[in-house]
Amino acid sequence: MSLPGFESFTKKIYIRASLEKLYWSWTTTEGICSWFLMEAVYLSKTGETRAKESFIQKGDRYTWRWFNWDGKESGEILYANGKDRVEFSFADHCRVTVELKKEGDHVLVTLTQANIPTDEESKMNLHVGCSNGWTFWMANLKAYLEHGILLHETEMDLRKIPMASFEFVNI
């Protein structure tokens, strides 16, 4: 068995929910803002803003904003098949793939972030930081869909704490 490198990582979690609910959670503004983001805007290839309940499509552009972070993430939807797989550009160079596989009354959610540059800053921010971040957010999605609770911080303003994104587990 070879050890994983810094170019990519994979995170998996079983969630007791329907395949349709999980796909909705990742691929609509309404869904992704229910557990992950403060704001999401998707623009179609023609520049029209997608309705919050509309599914994203290949070629859409997105802008995401989180609670407790003043920055934003913008990218492109690279693939969306309408049922169990979505891919998007992320953090300039990266490609994130989310695959959903029904297994009994659970769905296996597999997230892979690839094309991570291997300079020291990218290793820290895009490998370590994003790996930790996706681990939390996938657990947050499970908590939300299975128990109706959210784990991320929306009341306390953590933006003034210099190392908040590396120290707080629920930012």
Closest CA to 170 of 144, 151, 147: 151
pLDDT for residue 45 is more than 90 = yes
pTM assigned to the model = 0.95
Q: Which residues contact 100 (CB under 8 A, 6 or more apart)?
A: 19, 22, 23, 83, 84, 85, 107, 108, 109, 110
Residue labelled with tokens 């947050």: 140
Task: Look up residue 42 and give its amino acid.
Answer: Y
pLDDT at 65 over 80: yes
> What would the pLDDT profile of 89-106 be if each residue is shown by its tens digit?
999 999 999 999 999 999
Q: What percent of the chain has pLDDT over 90?
A: 88
Please give the full DSSP string across 90-131, using - where no structure is assigned. ETTTEEEEEEEEEETTEEEEEEEEE----SHHHIIIIIIIHH
pLDDT at residue 124 in the model: 93
In tens, the pLDDT along 111-133 reads 999 999 999 999 999 999 999 99
How many other C-beta atoms lie within 10 A of the C-beta of residue 14?
15
Q: What is the pLDDT of residues 48-59, one digit of tens each?
A: 999 999 999 999
In CATH, what number does 9-167 get? 3.30.530.20
